[in-house]
Amino acid sequence: MKYINIGNGEIKASAIALGCMRIADKSVKEVAELINTALEEGINFFDHADIYGGGKSEEVFAEAIDMKPSIREKIIIQTKCGIRKGYYDFSKEHILKSVDGSLKRLKTDYIDVLLLHRPDTLMEPEEVAEAFSILHSSGKVRNFGVSNFNPMQIELLSKYLNQKLIINQLQFSIMHTGMIDSGFNVNMKVDQSIDRDGSVLEYCRLKNITIQAWSPFQYGFFEGTFLGNEKFKELNDKIDEIAAKKGVPNIAIPIAWILRHPAKIQPIVGTTNPSRLKDICKASEIELTREEWYELYRAAGNKLP
């Protein structure tokens, strides 16, 4: 497993992270097998959120890993808050309450990284800053970040914070390339030239904010996976061709495609299948050539100007 420095360089994390959204319905034994496989493969970064499984994902994770100091110090735990039923809530009260709930469910004294899950247009940045300062000074949260934020939303929040935002989690995959499409089509009168996110990729690179790619196998929003999907024959044929050439399972190629980007984007993979996780981790063992990377981009239906 390759490792990257997250954001400010204080965290050395596995290039691939395990997302724990789908573990709530698994048994403790199944989750323990998944986590142990992740650790064996060199994954040390685990992504949670207070809403995953209504909090059950955090609970079963702690139980499965038998949370204790000797285990805790070897792993990086990230969780998120801010999404409530039908609305978003960045109030000081909710942030503090959410973190306390996560700490209790995870059976730990601290969170390595806390992300604000989705932008709340009713956000009072001074109130968020106060909550972050309380969490940081108390030792409950060591680092902070955001998810699905554009550059100006980050700038607005950062103006009031005493802490640096080190992560922005965004949807990105071979079939979800909005972050890079407009960069190829500068000054072009085509739909792909529309900058829909404020040049968030370049902004995060300039600010040393690590981008995490959520749902790296999804197409659309949550429409399904593209791997092995007959709707995307050209892409899958190219994935299979490169996988055979590299001697890795085809599931490793979409992750290798993300890892190849010099922004050092960290994919969050959400599989609950240990065998599949092992195959995914083989992405860390290979590096796509520039030509292969662009072949995959084009095979996904993208055109270069």
Residues recognised as catalytic: 52
**AA identity, residue 2:** K
What are the residue ranges of helices labelled H in the chain?
28-40, 56-65, 69-72, 92-106, 125-137, 151-158, 178-184, 200-206, 233-246, 252-259, 274-281, 290-299
Contact 53, 23 (CB under 8 A): yes
The H helix count followed by the E strand count for the chain is 12, 14
Q: How far apart are CA 267 and CA 256, in angstroms?
A: 9
Q: How far apart are CA 39 and CA 289, in angstroms?
A: 28
Dihedrals phi, psi of 17, to nearest 5 degrees: -115, 155
